[in-house]
Structures are given as structure tokens and as C-alpha cells.
């Protein structure tokens, strides 16, 4: 494979927008995308005319099955007034948003385009959970895996089991990830679950009292997380609070060439590395405790950017299940294989830790509208790097950051490196 080269043209993010993530029975993904685009327009510091946008790259996994609407890219382009510019939908399962971002980056980096819109959207909650599970299952190997009874919680349970067996991790270690991400999500007004686990417990107690039922008597959040009624097993060892939820949401970012960035803002955030790699489906892998596509994508992105893992200040990673965040923290080179769970336990990945991960709340708490998630990650990094993340802002400068977006069980992974100059 060709050695990654620095981009011929610099690529900057100059504006971002996202809908709230959650369950919105009265909104289509089109409505959510319009909300996201309106917010983007308001965040471009010097304003801009949407007529300068040359293309739309849209991440969307399966609007066909989730909403009965295929061919989503031109529909979204029309909804935000971009027709007749070219609009294309990128589909790589839960990495669709990150892959769309990389295509937009390559278009600008090549010099072919100066201003592109990258978006992502998914409306999942129209279907009941069982059908959502089947629809997501289409991203796995439907010849060898799904007929064997696998679902996505089941795949990641297999990954967690292999990791526990090799490295001695326990299910309690996974709970550290859920607790941290809910703490972060509680500070994110766009998060689906914008509450800490203790607040969640209080809500449950208040609801029980209101209904005249006996109030639960959990000692603390650990007790709550071990309660089979409050936090049921989904696929051993993964419980409800180890899973990302089913989510509706949309997100978009405006990419422009470095030459033109200052027309839009004096505070651009540059993307300096964009790696992507593929792998066989999970059943065909020798090692379940690492995602080789993530390691490959990270290696490419770091080399292109001329940085090392140790240079990165914060990361938004694909925590579709708690185990996925632990493995991501190792695949990105932050922690040695088999030590990511200890780093989470020691608070190293907390907002005030040495390497904050998922300050947005991650997919676990912010929500996971699969086609939009990768774009949502870029938005969090943009805000943190500009010091605009509000109550969840990390201390000090954020000169370098990373996003890591996974499709299925790691058959696709895309990693971006961001720089604040």
C-alpha cells in the first residue's frame, strides 16, 4: 500500500451543527438534518452563503430499512437548499459518518473542491428494538454470522469474553466506562441520556414513589449496575448500561481548504490525518481482543499527520459497547494491549485524566444514530479544541485530537487527526 503522504492542500473545519440525539417520533431524519444544518450556519463565525458549498457527503447506514427511504443524499441536499450540487451517500455500517468525513477531506485535500458539507443522519427509533437489531445485523456477515444467532450485543459480548479471558478484566471494569461516559454526557445538552447514573437512580426512585411502589434501595451506582432488574443482562457479560442506545440524530461539519479558511473563521480546526482500513468479519479473525482495522487506520492517520499517539490530548472513540472503548484506547496506541481497562479504572480517560476519552458522553450516553455518529465525534473535537465545550471543557489547550469510528465489529475503521494551530 502507498505510504500516507501529508495532504497537498490543508483541510479545515470551520463550522459544525448537530440535532439533539434521542428518540423523536415526530421527526424524520430530514427534519433532524435541517436542524443540524441550521446550527452549522449559525456557528460559522464570519457567516457564509450556502451557495459556496460544492458537494454533500452524507453518512447513512440504512434509511431504506429504518425509514423506508433510500437515496437519502439528494433528499438531504434538497432539504437544506443545496441542489444541484452533487450529493452522495456513504455506507460503511456504523462508520458511515466517519467514512463520509474522510471522503470530504480527500476532496478538499486533493484541491478538487474548496468547500464541502459532510453530514450524517439516521432515524432508528421508528422500528421496535427487535427490528433494529435485525437491521443492524445486516452490517455483519449474513452468510456465516447471523444464521449462527449473532446480534451486535452478542458480537461485542464475544469480544469482551475473549478480552477478559486473556487479560483478566472483569465485568466491573466495564462499568467504569459507563459511569464516566454518563458523567460526561450529563454535561452535554445534545446527549440522549444527559444524566449521570446517580441522577438516573434518583429518577427511578422518584418514579417508583410516584406510582406508590416500594422505592429501590441501591447503596450506590455500583449496586445499581449490579441489579439485574435495573441493569439487565443483554448478552453476557454486557448489561444494558454496557450498550449504546437506539437513537435518532443528525450532524454536519463544513470543510474548507486551508487557503480559504480565514474567510469563514479566525479559529479553524485542521484535519491533518485521515486513515481508513478494512478487515474480515469477526468469525474469520484469529484475535478478538484488538481490531486490526483500527490499528491500521490509526497508523496511517498518525503517519500522514506526522504525530505519535503520545502527542494526542483527547479522543472521541467508538464506544458502541463499553468493551469497544477499552479496545479502542489500546488500538489507538494510548495504552498497551491488555491495560486499557486498568487505565479506565485509574481515571486516566476521565475529563481530568491524562488522556480524556469521549468527553461528549460517547455513543453510550450521547447516543448512536449510526450514520451520524462519526460526524458527531468530529463536532466534539472541534468544540473542545476551540474551548467551546462548556461545562465539559477539558482543562488547558487541546493542540491535537483524534476521532475513531468503527463499522460493525471492526470490518471498517476510520481515524482522523485534528490540529489546532
Beta-carbon count within 10 A of 267 CB: 16
Residue 173 annotated to the active site: no
Residue 94 annotated to the active site: yes
Catalytic-labelled residue, pool 368, 404, 413, 416: 368
- Asked if 245 is part of the footprint of ligand COA (rule: CB under 6 A), the reply reads yes
* Contact track, ligand COA, 66-95, x by CB under 6 A: ----------------------------x-
- Asked if 201 is part of the footprint of ligand COA (rule: CB under 6 A), the reply reads no
Provide the minimum distance between the beta carbon of 26 and ligand COA in the complex, in angstroms, as a whole number. Answer: 17
Answer for which of 69, 133, 135, 161 binds ligand COA (CB under 6 A) is 133
C-alpha to C-alpha distances, 71 to 62, 124, 335, nearest whole angstrom: 10, 16, 41
* Contact track, ligand COA, 347-376, x by CB under 6 A: ---------------------x--------
Nearest-angstrom CA–CA distance, 297 and 278? 9
- Asked if 288 is part of the footprint of ligand COA (rule: CB under 6 A), the reply reads no
Provide the minimum distance between the beta carbon of 275 and ligand COA in the complex, in angstroms, as a whole number. Answer: 20
* Contact track, ligand COA, 290-329, x by CB under 6 A: ------------------------------x---------
Provide the minimum distance between the beta carbon of 152 and ligand COA in the complex, in angstroms, as a whole number. Answer: 4
Nearest-angstrom CA–CA distance, 64 and 370? 14
Count of residues that bind ligand COA according to CB under 6 A: 15
- Asked if 103 is part of the footprint of ligand COA (rule: CB under 6 A), the reply reads no
- Asked if 152 is part of the footprint of ligand COA (rule: CB under 6 A), the reply reads yes
Provide the minimum distance between the beta carbon of 293 and ligand COA in the complex, in angstroms, as a whole number. Answer: 14
Whichever of 39 and 248 has its CB closer to ligand COA, that residue is 248
Provide the minimum distance between the beta carbon of 272 and ligand COA in the complex, in angstroms, as a whole number. Answer: 28
Nearest-angstrom CA–CA distance, 160 and 320? 13
Nearest-angstrom CA–CA distance, 176 and 308? 26
Answer for which of 10, 201, 246, 301 binds ligand COA (CB under 6 A) is 246
Name the closest residue to ligand COA (Cβ).
Answer: 129
Site residues for ligand COA per CB under 6 A = 94, 129, 133, 136, 152-153, 234, 240-241, 243-246, 320, 368
What are the residue numbers of the active site? 94, 368
Amino acid at each position: 500500500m502507498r505510504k500516507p503522504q501529508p495532504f497537498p492542500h490543508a483541510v479545515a473545519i470551520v463550522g459544525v451543527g448537530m440535532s439533539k440525539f434521542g428518540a423523536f417520533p415526530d421527526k424524520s431524519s430530514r427534519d433532524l438534518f435541517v436542524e443540524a444544518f441550521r446550527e452549522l450556519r449559525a456557528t460559522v463565525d464570519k457567516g457564509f452563503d450556502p451557495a459556496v458549498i460544492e458537494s454533500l457527503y452524507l453518512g447513512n447506514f440504512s434509511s431504506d430499512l429504518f425509514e423506508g427511504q433510500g437515496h437519502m443524499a439528494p433528499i438531504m441536499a434538497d432539504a437544506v437548499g443545496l441542489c444541484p450540487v452533487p450529493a452522495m451517500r456513504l455506507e460503511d455500517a456504523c462508520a458511515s459518518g466517519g467514512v463520509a468525513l474522510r471522503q470530504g477531506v480527500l476532496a478538499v485535500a486533493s484541491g478538487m473542491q474548496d468547500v464541502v458539507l459532510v453530514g450524517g443522519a439516521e432515524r432508528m427509533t421508528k422500528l421496535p428494538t427487535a427490528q433494529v437489531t435485525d437491521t443492524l445485523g445486516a452490517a455483519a456477515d449474513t452468510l456465516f454470522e447471523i444464521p449462527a444467532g449473532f446480534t451486535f450485543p452478542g458480537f461485542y459480548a464475544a469480544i469482551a469474553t475473549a478480552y477478559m479471558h486473556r487479560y483478566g478484566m472483569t465485568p466491573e471494569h466495564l462499568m467504569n466506562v459507563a459511569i464516566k461516559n454518563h458523567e460526561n454526557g450529563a454535561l452535554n445538552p445534545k446527549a440522549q441520556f444527559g444524566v449521570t447514573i446517580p441522577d438516573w437512580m434518583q429518577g427511578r426512585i422518584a418514579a417508583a414513589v410516584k406510582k406508590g411502589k416500594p422505592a429501590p434501595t441501591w447503596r450506590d451506582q455500583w449496586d445499581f449496575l449490579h441489579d439485574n432488574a435495573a441493569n439487565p443482562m443483554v448478552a453476557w457479560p454486557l448489561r444494558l448500561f454496557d450498550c449504546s442506545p437506539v437513537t435518532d440524530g443528525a450532524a454536519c461539519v463544513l470543510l474548507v481548504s486551508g487557503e480559504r479558511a480565514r474567510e469563514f473563521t479566525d479559529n479553524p480546526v485542521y484535519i491533518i490525518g485521515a486513515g481508513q482500513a478494512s478487515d474480515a468479519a469477526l468469525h474469520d479473525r484469529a484475535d478478538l481482543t484488538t481490531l486490526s482495522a483500527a490499528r491500521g487506520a490509526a497508523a496511517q492517520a498518525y503517519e500522514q499527520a506526522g504525530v505519535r499517539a503520545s502527542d494526542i490530548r483527547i479522543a472521541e472513540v467508538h464506544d458502541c459497547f463499553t468493551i469497544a472503548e477499552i479496545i479502542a484506547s489500546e488500538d489507538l496506541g494510548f495504552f498497551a494491549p491488555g491495560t486499557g481497562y486498568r487505565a479506565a479504572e485509574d481515571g486516566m480517560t476521565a475529563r481530568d485524566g491524562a488522556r480524556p476519552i469521549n468527553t461528549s458522553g460517547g455513543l453510550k450516553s450521547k447516543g448512536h444514530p449510526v450514520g451520524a455518529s462519526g460526524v458527531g465525534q468530529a463536532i466534539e473535537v472541534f468544540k473542545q479544541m476551540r474551548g467551546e465545550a462548556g461545562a465539559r471543557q477539558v482543562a488547558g489547550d487541546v493542540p491535537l485530537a483524534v476521532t475513531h469510528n468503527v463499522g460493525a465489529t471492526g470490518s471498517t475503521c476510520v481515524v482522523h487527526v485534528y490540529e489546532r494551530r
